[in-house]
Structure 1
Amino acid sequence: MLVKIYGSAVFGVEATTITVEVNIDKGIGYHLVGLPDNAVKESSFRIAAALQNNGFKFPGKKIIINMAPADLRKEGSAYDLTFAIGILAASGQIKANNISEYIIMGELSLDGSLKPIKGALPIAIKAKQEGFKHFILPKQNAKEAAIVSELSVFGVDNISEVCNHFNKKYPLEPVIINTRQEFYNNLNQLEFDFADVKGQESIKRCMEVAAAGGHNIILVGPPGAGKTMLAKRLPSILPPMTLHEALETTKIHSVVGKIQNHNGLMTYRPFRSPHHTISDVALVGGGAYPQPGEISLSHNGVLFLDELPEFKRSVLEVMRQPLEDREVTISRARFTVTYPSSFMLVASMNPSPSGYFNDPDSPLTSSPTEIQRYLNKISGPLLDRIDIHIEVTPVPFDKLSAKRKGESSIEIRKRVAKARELQTIRFKEEENIHYNAQMGTRQLAKFCELDTEGLSLLKKAMEKLQLSARAYDRILKVARSIADLEESSQIQPSHVGEAIQYRSLDREGWLG
């Protein structure tokens, strides 16, 4: 008997429906075709044990399973449940009257229980688009898939529950989630808060400016000054994600199986902090069967690179194109996948190999040559894509021991959100530009005009501080963000003056 049952494969962040044809006929043998990888091929052993341990029979006949389209590589163990139900239906052990209305996915244990799968959300979205009515998958992934409306999602613990459902003994109950209500209820649940940071008021202000304009930022300071603590709190002052951004972010994390505690929609902006030993592929994505890298997992959030000069030069250089294009494309001989990668880059570094710079009280010192060699590990083109450079100094004892708490992230976020709203209105007619950091030369000329006093101040700063030519555009962008925070339509000289302070690494004595 021939039965058609449906599963799904994920390529990039999109899913493709896979038709699984199960044919049972006279003879012996188990034949699986359709370009499966080793994990898919090994499914026969898991299926046989799971069926026998749950009171079903693994047919002792000739079983042929075809996965179409046959020219697409199928990988992973998520097809176990698809094959098992197909075999049971083809052998007449369960009723298969409306099985064509279902997408069925899940990895089987030998006792018949189900383990979570990757990519549940993209699969559910594709299932709805192609007119499927139901989706059966492991219970751990049910909330994630139930985000998609107009699709009945059934979360199950064991294969016997699926069989009882089709035999109409114990019908499954769909998982129902009010996506919008859950999204808005969790928007203000912050893991970290700027209120916990003692002192560092100037750095908090700098982080607020960076958040307001979406600017990349680098923090330079000795060990223990609070660089990592500040970076971890940056997502808490970014504007809350829109529902569209939340869906985009959840899809990417779903593909790699990184939805925390198997919750539904991600309502917080991601914060990724890879170790400095990371490889090029792990950062930008790729592999024999491409997977999203850290820059895509940071989409709509923050990528934090601690101790920037310790990263391999090649790793840092591959970030240059994604920083500009806000996406990364990975090409293989048979296919090409594109992952979104619109993130804020936050980097930190010590000012010298010893961790201290021009500090007479420090027991560790580095020679000027060592310092220059250390700083030159960061290329000019990469630094050119970082708008704000700020020096972080250690917090004095009286501020560390003070009991008074600083301003909360919620209050700072309100100001940032207002500034972003102004930018949304400003760039509504500009294609692919949403905030100040994305402005090009044409937008700078249009939206960042300076008065005579502002131009004079910028000219003096360029000459006296020996700022590089690349600093000019960055200063204008940052000044525009500072003006937006004050809800000023015109960039004032005070805004230019503050922006100039945020270009430390362009000054003489840093990178030449």
Structure 2
Amino acid sequence: MSYARVLCAGLDGVTGELVEVEAMLADGLPGVIVTGLPDSALNEARERVRAAITNSGETWPMRRIIINLYPADLRKRGSGFDLGMALAILGGTGTLPLAALDGVLVLGELGLDGEVRPVRGVLPMVAAAARAGAAEAVVPSANAAEAALVPGIRVYAADSLAAVTAHIRGITALPDPPPVPAPPTASELDLADVAGQEMGRLAVEVAAAGGHHMALFGAPGAGKTMLAQRLPSLLPRLDDEAALEVTALHSIAGVLAPGAPLVRRPPFQAPHHTASVAALVGGGSGLPRPGALSLAHRGVLFLDEAPEFSRHALDSLRQPLEDGTITLGRSRGVVVYPARVQLVLAANPCPCARPAGDVACGCTSHTKRRYRARVSGPLLDRIDIQLDLMPLKAAHLFTESAPREPSRIVAARVAKARAAAVARWAPELDVRTNAEVPGTVLRRRRWKLPEPVTHELRQRLDQGVLSARGFDRVLRMAWTMGDLAGLDRPGKEELNIALELRKGSWQ
């Protein structure tokens, strides 16, 4: 009886989980048994591994082979265990010395010819191995640049099973991954392109500084989409922790380009209004995958023509906006994906979307009410900024009394405001923006604003104009206005501006 063990990894949602592939070769009828909650792809690995070993010049053992994936109570999914299973079997025969693989992570799918093919989610799996103390990782060549993004672990690029066995035997070393290319210097959309719309520009600045959700309403051509598309240009670059988290999500979803560097710019997702609930929040049969909501994590999710989305799809955003995560349950398990996004909605006043003042608009008041009702009140109540944009005049397009501020100048103010918020809340809260501060904290004695400052806000709550949730969201925006103004705490003027930014007439 012979035994060997190889270190691999799987995925539990967006988190990598280490898995030990154990192989035992015993006397009995030749065959392969895989235990440890494998899925269909893993059960089919038996034939892939056998063909790959044979076509790589190795001898397939005509013995009873038992492969266990430890821990046995963790579901194993995907084809990333193929290479580890092949090495464990060869190690069990005694023809391959596995001492060189102690503390080495092994990942990769095998082709029938022995080629090592790429798999999804390499980044979080290598990161899990690095946290556990692994010093090296052997990954497919196509995933090597991605794996090399994880600090503190040496990565080897493997293109075939034969190359890996030669590396283990000390005959030929596996190559290092190619250098990570510099991120492309794509030109960003600039806020200076937006004509007029002073309140709209202020709304985008406040949204960027405080991490607030935003809804822009107005006639076609008022600048709703232009403002929303320029919000990412005001957001600070992602730090190392956030960049790894976002890049891992893109890796799991299979949208990370081969050899791409860490995602440093806040992502921007703008799904079409025909997107299904699964495409928006994540899903699919079997094991759910991330949707546009999670792919926009730490960035912006922009829903243009919001009333054209199905109401079910829009309302599926309500819980993730509150919790910052999305929990998806399917037949093969429950997955939790991060979803800390800034939601931006844009909508026209009526279905025909004709310019304001166009006599050809035949939409009745009833038609407009039905159209607006597609965006539910509970969803709108979770959106901090609700602003009506007025149509542009010719003077806005052809006359400029002063140069428009570019994104880099506004982004500098946003960065200072965010730093002030972190410095204020860091001693007691783990938050990055004012939008994440619980309402109970803002109403405590230490942070409670004086009654003369909040008088009008309290009146609106008592009159039923604002909900309790809306009350807290206006308070958070006021704190953001104070940070932009360099104040220790907001005053009545900042609170009034915050109220003005939430006066949208959509409902």
TM > 0.5: yes
Could you tell me how far apart the structure 2 residues matched to 1:402 and 1:93 are? 80
CA contact (8 A) 1:187 1:240 kept: no
Unaligned 5+ runs, structure 2: none
Could you tell me how far apart the structure 2 residues matched to 1:131 and 1:496 are? 50
Letter in structure 2 aligned against 1:81: L
TM-score (norm 2): 0.86
Q: 1:441 to 1:36 in 2, by over 3 A?
A: closer
* Equivalence for 1:114: 116
Q: 1:57 to 1:195 in 2, by over 3 A?
A: farther
Q: CA deviation at 1:311?
A: 2.4
CA contact (8 A) 2:183 2:261 kept: no
Could you tell me how far apart the structure 2 residues matched to 1:435 and 1:70 are? 41
Residue 204 of structure 2 corresponds to residue 207 of structure 1? yes
Q: How does 1:212-361 map to 2 (within 5 A)?
A: 212-286=209-283, 288-330=286-328, 337-356=335-354, 359-361=356-358
Q: How does 1:119-158 map to 2 (within 5 A)?
A: 119-158=121-160
Could you tell me how far apart the structure 2 residues matched to 1:361 and 1:466 are? 35
* Equivalence for 2:19: 18
Could you tell me how far apart the structure 1 residues matched to 2:38 and 2:170 are? 32
Letter in structure 2 aligned against 1:247: L
Q: CA deviation at 1:5?
A: 1.5
Give the secondary structure class of the aligned counterpart of 1:164. Answer: helix
Q: CA deviation at 1:198?
A: 4.6
* Equivalence for 1:39: 41
Worse-superposed segment, 273-282 or 245-254 = 273-282
Q: 1:436 to 1:209 in 2, by over 3 A?
A: same
Q: CA deviation at 1:373?
A: 1.0
Letter in structure 2 aligned against 1:137: V
Q: Deviations over 1:234-258 (max 9, x none)?
A: 1121122222222222232233233
Q: 1:402 to 1:80 in 2, by over 3 A?
A: farther
Q: How does 1:486-497 map to 2 (within 5 A)?
A: 486-497=485-496
* Equivalence for 1:67: 69
Q: Deviations over 1:121-165 (max 9, x none)?
A: 221222123333321111222233223333221122222221210
Q: CA deviation at 1:414?
A: 0.5
Q: 1:202 to 1:45 in 2, by over 3 A?
A: same
Could you tell me how far apart the structure 1 residues matched to 2:41 and 2:102 are? 25
Q: CA deviation at 1:14?
A: 1.9
Could you tell me how far apart the structure 2 residues matched to 1:285 and 1:73 are? 20
* Equivalence for 1:483: 482
Residue of structure 2 aligned with 1:438, choices 414, 418, 436 = 436
Worse-superposed segment, 12-21 or 335-344 = 335-344
CA contact (8 A) 1:448 1:491 kept: no
CA contact (8 A) 1:106 1:114 kept: yes
Residue of structure 2 aligned with 1:192, choices 176, 189, 197 = 189
Q: 1:202 to 1:362 in 2, by over 3 A?
A: farther
Give the alignment's Cα RMSD to 1 decimal.
3.4
Q: Deviations over 1:337-359 (max 9, x none)?
A: 433222111111111111247x3
Worse-superposed segment, 368-377 or 400-409 = 400-409
Q: 1:395 to 1:108 in 2, by over 3 A?
A: farther
Q: CA deviation at 1:396?
A: 5.0
Give the secondary structure class of the aligned counterpart of 1:260. Answer: coil
Could you tell me how far apart the structure 1 residues matched to 2:127 and 2:457 are? 51
Give the secondary structure class of the aligned counterpart of 2:102. Answer: helix
Could you tell me how far apart the structure 1 residues matched to 2:433 and 2:296 are? 18
Q: 1:41 to 1:367 in 2, by over 3 A?
A: same
Could you tell me how far apart the structure 1 residues matched to 2:96 and 2:399 are? 69
Could you tell me how far apart the structure 1 residues matched to 2:47 and 2:389 are? 58
Q: CA deviation at 1:94?
A: 3.3
Give the secondary structure class of the aligned counterpart of 1:261. Answer: coil
Q: 1:240 to 1:300 in 2, by over 3 A?
A: same
CA contact (8 A) 1:273 1:304 kept: yes
Letter in structure 1 aligned against 2:343: L
Q: 1:480 to 1:28 in 2, by over 3 A?
A: closer
Q: CA deviation at 1:330?
A: 4.3
Q: CA deviation at 1:217?
A: 0.1
Q: 1:10 to 1:472 in 2, by over 3 A?
A: closer
Q: Structure 1 vs Structure 2: percent identity of aligned residues? A: 37
Could you tell me how far apart the structure 2 residues matched to 1:474 and 1:130 are? 41
Worse-superposed segment, 98-107 or 492-501 = 492-501
CA contact (8 A) 1:23 1:90 kept: yes
Could you tell me how far apart the structure 2 residues matched to 1:113 and 1:9 are? 20
Letter in structure 2 aligned against 1:162: V
Letter in structure 1 aligned against 2:237: P
TM-score (norm 1): 0.85
Q: Deviations over 1:37-95 (max 9, x none)?
A: 22222223333443444433444444332222333322211122122222333344533
* Equivalence for 1:2: 3
Letter in structure 2 aligned against 1:425: A
Could you tell me how far apart the structure 2 residues matched to 1:74 and 1:231 are? 41
Letter in structure 2 aligned against 1:284: V
Corresponding residue pairs, total: 499
Worse-superposed segment, 474-483 or 210-219 = 474-483
Q: CA deviation at 1:177?
A: 7.4
* Equivalence for 2:106: 104
CA contact (8 A) 1:118 1:254 kept: yes
Could you tell me how far apart the structure 2 residues matched to 1:258 and 1:315 are? 22
Q: CA deviation at 1:188?
A: 8.7
Give the secondary structure class of the aligned counterpart of 1:63. Answer: strand
Q: 1:67 to 1:479 in 2, by over 3 A?
A: closer
Worse-superposed segment, 366-375 or 307-316 = 307-316
Give the secondary structure class of the aligned counterpart of 2:301. Answer: strand
CA contact (8 A) 1:198 1:405 kept: no
Worse-superposed segment, 323-332 or 293-302 = 323-332
Worse-superposed segment, 342-351 or 325-334 = 325-334
Could you tell me how far apart the structure 2 residues matched to 1:80 and 1:492 are? 62
Could you tell me how far apart the structure 1 residues matched to 2:399 and 2:113 are? 58
Give the secondary structure class of the aligned counterpart of 1:283. Answer: helix
Could you tell me how far apart the structure 2 residues matched to 1:281 and 1:328 are? 12
CA contact (8 A) 1:4 1:100 kept: no
